[in-house]
Amino acid sequence: MAEQIVGTVKSVVGPVVDFEFSEGALPEIYDAIYVDMGSGKRETFEVEQQLGNNIVRSVSMGSTDGLRRGMQGVSEGEPIKVPVGPSTLGRLFNVTGAPIDEAGPVDAETYYP
């Protein structure tokens, strides 16, 4: 896993969220950014554009309700990955690869972007 890059939410417009990072420490296009929303909930964002001035534009993979400017976002330097393989057959997943079929956790050995 790559080093974590920490930024802050600069703006929220519907599912589109801009994050500001330190000079020279921008996540790559398609990298995931995670925000701790409290109560054990973590929201996932995918970087779509580097705007300049240390700001990236991302799209939320879920609800942005409760997201505020100044909240901390962390990129681990990797894209969103989903489980693949025989254990996923017949299962239902959301866009971040989490099971939504109430059949318990997925025992996958391989994850792909």
Q: How confident is the model at residue 104 (pLDDT cuts 50, 70, 90)?
A: very high
Say what the pLDDT of residue 2 is: 66
Say what the pLDDT of residue 1 is: 56
- Region 94-112: mean pLDDT is 94
Which domains does the chain show, CATH number per domain?
Answer: 5-79 (2.40.10.170), 81-113 (no CATH)
pLDDT in tens, 49-90: 999 999 999 999 999 999 999 999 999 999 999 999 999 999
Token pair in block for residue 69: 């400017």
To 10 degrees, the CA torsion angle through 9, 73, 97, 28?
90
- Global pTM value: 0.90
